[in-house]
Structure 1
Amino acid sequence: MTDGAGGVDNLAYITSKFAEFNIRVNAVHPGTIRTPMTEHESVRDLVKEMEKDIPMKHIAEPKEISNLLLYLSSDESIYSTGIEFVVDGGLIQVMYKAGEKSIFGFVQKSSQTICLRAFLLQ
């Protein structure tokens, strides 16, 4: 399940409808993930600055996200349903406690804007 228009709002409803059939419904909210875009020379310095704000001091490697997805798709998580999993190295909690309502990090190069992160906090 993704965090789209009404995605998270519908999590409880969908969970309640499918739980009786032993179908688990969970939401995964990853933070910034290391990709070819985050390795590009035009954003390398910005990524290093972003990592300073993350309590675990690094952006996620793809395997750190896929390990959670593997767990959630296995029988090891048989009783986990209706849960939102945030995989961001602790960043959301730190920013939430600091009273931030939103965090935007972006870099602009010529007319192209590359958005690296945009977390909306409730």
Structure 2
Amino acid sequence: MAIKFFLLACLLMAAPCAYAVISCPQVNRRVGSCAGYVTAKTAKPTPACCAGVRSLNSQATTKPTRQAICNCLKDFANKIKGINDARVAGLPQQCGVSLPFTIGRTTNCNA
């Protein structure tokens, strides 16, 4: 019964239910393989890393999703020992993704 009510509520209020904000575990799975590159242990990001970066970029279609991804990436980056901020900032370009802002541990995710 509760599921039917939720579905009905989503149909009646389509805008709030139209998107699902991505979770931090989902973000972390996509960029986990980038840790070697952002800590300068590898010369280039792995194909899996770049696939994750491109996937997150394609999912960032709404402001709430972009903000959620940003906050998750900042939390994830702050947990990595020996992270190189210049490599973090250059990761999108290394993976063929163009962003209108610089990413990093100090990025303002609310902007």
Per the normalisation by structure 2, the TM-score is 0.27
**Larger strand proportion of the pair:** 1
**Larger helix proportion of the pair:** 2
